[in-house]
Amino acid sequence: MTDYFTLKEECHSIFGQGSKLKGDFFLTGPTHISSLVEGNLTIEDDSDICIESVGQFSGTIKCHNIKIYGKFQGTIQASGKVTAYPTATLSGTLFAKDFTFHPGSTINVDGQTYNE
C-alpha cells in the first residue's frame, strides 16, 4: 500500500531560490531560506531555521536554532544555538545560548550568550 500525504499534514516553510520577499513573517515548523528575504522573521515553535548557501536575509530573526550557510545581516535572537558554516557571512548582533563559527565563515558581529 502506498502512503500518501497532503501538504496540510506537512509543517515546514521553504523560501525558494530566485524569490524576493519583504515583510514580517510568523512561521512554525522547519524553515529553509534559499531566497532574498528582508524584514522580520519569527519562528513560533522550537523548529530550526536554515539560511542556505544561496540565501540572503536582512533584518531580525527570532528562533530556537539557526544554521547559516548563506548571508545574514541584522539581529538574531536565538533561544538555542547559532551555527555559521564555512560559506556563511554574518554581520550584526547575535543573542543566543551558544555560538559555533566554523573555519572559513566570515563573522563581523557583536554577540552575547545567556543562560536561562
- Structural domain spans, the chain: 17-106
Instruction: For the chain, 116 residues long, give each residue's pLDDT as a single digit of tens.
Output: 455 555 445 566 777 788 899 999 999 989 999 999 999 999 999 999 999 999 999 999 999 999 999 999 999 999 999 999 999 999 999 999 999 999 999 999 999 998 86
Instruction: Give residue 14's pLDDT.
Output: 76
- Tell how strand 49-51 and strand 31-33 pair up: parallel
29/27 Cα distance (integer angstroms): 7
**Identity of the amino acid at 50:** C
Nearest CA among 37, 34, 66, 36 for reference residue 49: 66
State which H helix or E strand residue 48 sits in. Answer: none
DSSP 103: T
C-alpha Rg value of the chain to the nearest Å: 14
pTM: 0.88
